[in-house]
Amino acid sequence: MKVIAAIAEKGGVGKTAIACVVAAGLRLAGARVLVVGLDIQPAAAAVFALPHPGVSGVAQLLLGEEVQPVAGHLDVEVLSGGPALDGGDIRALRSDELRFGLQRLADRYDTVVIDVAPVILHLHRLALDAADLALVISDAQCMESLASLAKLIGEIATAKQRQAYSPGEVIPVINKVNRSHTLDCQLADQVAERYGADHTIIEIPHANIVPTAIARRRPEMALNAHSPVQQPFRQLIAQAGQLIVRSPEWSG
Ligand SMILES: Nc1ncnc2c1ncn2[C@@H]1O[C@H](COP(=O)(O)OP(=O)(O)OP(=O)(O)O)[C@@H](O)[C@H]1O
Ligand SMILES: [Mg+2]
Give the nearest ligand 1 atom to 118 CA: 25
Q: Domains along the chain?
A: 2-243 (3.40.50.300)
The SS3 assignment for 209 reads helix
Q: pTM higher than 0.75 for the full model?
A: yes
The H or E element that residue 49 is part of is: none
Q: Which of 7, 9, 15 to mutate to test the pocket of ligand 1 (most atoms within 8 A of CB)?
A: 15
Q: Closest Cα to residue 104, out of 1, 238, 18?
A: 1
Q: Count of alpha carbons within 13 Å of 201, Cβ hemisphere only?
A: 22
What is the Å distance from ligand 1's center to 12 Cα?
5
Q: What is the pLDDT of residue 252?
A: 58
Rounded to whole angstroms, the Cα distance separating 163 from 174 reads: 27
Query: Strand 70-71 and strand 2-7: pairing?
Result: unpaired
Cα–Cα distance measured from residue 57 to residue 41, given in angstroms and rounded to the nearest whole number: 12
Ligand 1 is surrounded, with C-beta below 6 A, by 8, 11-17, 43, 118, 175-176, 204, 206-207, 210-211, 214, 229
Residue 170's nearest CA partner among 195, 148, 143, 204 is 195
Q: Whose CA is nearest to atom 23 of ligand 1?
A: 12
* pLDDT, block means (10 residues), the chain with 252 residues: 95 96 96 96 89 81 94 96 92 95 96 95 94 94 83 85 84 90 76 68 95 97 95 95 76 60
Q: Give the closest ligand to the alpha carbon of residue 12.
A: 1
Pick from 42, 33, 31, 37: nearest CA to 62: 37
What is the SS3 assignment for 32? coil
Instruction: Tell me whether residue 69 is exposed, middle or buried, using C-beta atoms within 10 angstroms of its C-beta: 0 to 12, 13 to 18, 19 or more.
Output: buried
* pLDDT score for 200: 81
